[in-house]
Structure 1
Amino acid sequence: MSLWSLLTLSNVASALGILLVTVVALQLVDWWFFNPLRELPSHRATKWIPWIGILPILKGKGFVYSSTGHEENGTIAAATTNMISVVDPEIIEQMCKKQDLPKNQMVYKRLRILETDPDNIFQTTDRVFHRRARRMVTPAFSIRYLNGLEVYIDKVWQDLEKKLLGMRDAEGWAGVDVNKICHNIALDLIGETAFGCSFNMIESGNHPLHEARETLFRYGITKVFIPFLKYIPLSYLPSINHAAHTTTTFLTEVVASRKAMNARGERREDILQMLLDYRDPDGDRMTEEEIGASVFIIFVAGSETTANSMTWFVYMMLKHPQSLEKLQRELLETFPDGMTTPLGLEKLKSLPYLDACIKESMRLRPVAPVISRELEKDTVIQGTKPNGEVTSYNIPRGTKIIVAIYGLHTSEKVWLRAKEFIPERWLESSGARAGPAEEEAWGVLPETAGADPKSAYKAVYGQPKMLAKDGGFIPFSMGSRDCIGKNFAWNEMRVILGHMFRRFEFEPLFDTTKEIVGESYITLGVGKGGLPVRMRERKV
Structure 2
Amino acid sequence: MSPHMENLAKPLALSLGSYALWRLVRPHVSPDEITKVPGPGGNFAFAGHMQDMFGGEHAWKFHERLLTEYGGVAKIHGVLNEPQLYVSDPVALHHIITKDTFDEDSVLLSFVPNVWGPSFSGVSGDHHKKQRKMLSPVFSIQQMRGLVPVFYPIANELRNVFADEIKTGRGVVDVFDWMSLTALEYIGRGGLGHSFDALNTRKVNEYNEYIKTAVSTMTVLYPLITLMPYIGHLGPAWFRRKVVDWTPINAVHRLRDISDVMQATSEAIYHKKKSALEEGEEALTGLVANGKDIMTTLLKANSKADEADRLPENELLAQMNALIFAGQDTTSNAMSHALHSLAMNQGVQDRLRKEVLQAKEDNGGQELGYDALIALPYLDAIFRETLRMYPPSAIVWRQSVKDTVLPLSRPMKLAGSKEEITGLPVKKGTRVIISIMNANRDKRVWGEDAFEWKPDRWLKPLPETVTKAKMPGIYSSMMTFLGGNRSCIGMKFAELEMKMLLFVLIENFVFSVEEGTEITWTFQVLQQPGIIGPDGKVDPRSQLPLKISFVGDGKP
Q: In 2, are the aligned partners of 1:63 and 1:520 still within 8 Å (CA)? A: no
**1:250 — aligned with what?**
265
CA distance in 2, matches of 1:189, 1:295: 13
The offset of 1:35, in angstroms, is 4.2
Q: CA offsets per residue over residues 14-64 of structure 1, 9 Å max, x none?
A: xx9xx9899769835843883432211101435x97954122234246565
Q: 1:459 aligns with which of 458, 469, 491?
A: 469
Secondary structure at the counterpart of residue 339 of structure 2: helix
Higher mean C-alpha deviation, range 402-411 or range 55-64 = 55-64
**2:538 — aligned with what?**
none
The answer to whether structure 1 residue 123 and structure 2 residue 155 are counterparts is: no
CA distance in 1, matches of 2:356, 2:520: 27
Cα 1:330–1:28 shift into 2, 3 Å: same
Q: 2:50 aligns with which of 51, 54, 60?
A: 54
* Unaligned 5+ runs, structure 1: 1-11, 434-445, 448-454, 462-467
Cα 1:456–1:234 shift into 2, 3 Å: closer
- TM-score, normalised to structure 1's length? 0.80
The offset of 1:202, in angstroms, is 1.8
What does residue range 75-90 of structure 1 map to in structure 2 within 5 Å? 75-80=72-77, 81-90=82-91
What does residue range 419-498 of structure 1 map to in structure 2 within 5 Å? 419-428=451-460, 447=464, 457-459=467-469, 472-498=477-503
**1:270 — aligned with what?**
293
Secondary structure at the counterpart of residue 121 of structure 2: coil
The offset of 1:218, in angstroms, is 5.2
The offset of 1:377, in angstroms, is 2.3
Cα 1:308–1:29 shift into 2, 3 Å: closer
What does residue range 116-515 of structure 1 map to in structure 2 within 5 Å? 118-124=117-123, 126-169=124-167, 174-204=171-201, 206-214=204-212, 220-227=218-225, 231=240, 233-236=243-246, 239-265=254-280, 266-267=283-284, 268=290, 269-279=292-302, 281-282=305-306, 285-336=310-361, 341-383=366-408, 384=410, 391-416=422-447, 417-428=449-460, 447=464, 457-459=467-469, 472-509=477-514
Larger proportion of helix: 2
- TM-score, normalised to structure 2's length? 0.78
The structure that has the greater radius of gyration is 1
Q: In 2, are the aligned partners of 1:195 and 1:271 still within 8 Å (CA)? A: yes
Q: 2:529 aligns with which of 515, 526, 529?
A: 526
Secondary structure at the counterpart of residue 484 of structure 1: coil
The offset of 1:285, in angstroms, is 4.8
**1:105 — aligned with what?**
106
The offset of 1:502, in angstroms, is 1.2
Cα 1:206–1:74 shift into 2, 3 Å: same
Cα 1:415–1:470 shift into 2, 3 Å: farther
* Unaligned 5+ runs, structure 2: 1-9, 233-239, 248-252, 285-289, 414-418, 531-540
What does residue range 12-27 of structure 1 map to in structure 2 within 5 Å? 27=24
CA distance in 2, matches of 1:458, 1:31: 39
Secondary structure at the counterpart of residue 184 of structure 1: helix
CA distance in 2, matches of 1:214, 1:340: 36
Q: In 1, are the aligned partners of 2:101 and 2:402 still within 8 Å (CA)? A: no
CA distance in 2, matches of 1:183, 1:210: 8
**1:450 — aligned with what?**
none
CA distance in 2, matches of 1:236, 1:515: 40
Cα 1:29–1:343 shift into 2, 3 Å: closer
The offset of 1:137, in angstroms, is 1.6
The answer to whether structure 1 residue 516 and structure 2 residue 520 are counterparts is: yes
The offset of 1:322, in angstroms, is 2.0
CA distance in 2, matches of 1:537, 1:147: 30
**1:40 — aligned with what?**
37
CA distance in 2, matches of 1:406, 1:53: 18
**1:439 — aligned with what?**
none
| Equivalences, count | 490
Q: In 2, are the aligned partners of 1:409 and 1:415 still within 8 Å (CA)? A: yes
**1:440 — aligned with what?**
none
- Which one-letter code corresponds to 1:505 in the other structure? V
Cα 1:100–1:353 shift into 2, 3 Å: farther
The offset of 1:390, in angstroms, is 5.2
CA distance in 2, matches of 1:258, 1:362: 34
Q: CA offsets per residue over residues 391-419 of structure 1, 9 Å max, x none?
A: 54322221101111111111112111111
Secondary structure at the counterpart of residue 392 of structure 2: coil
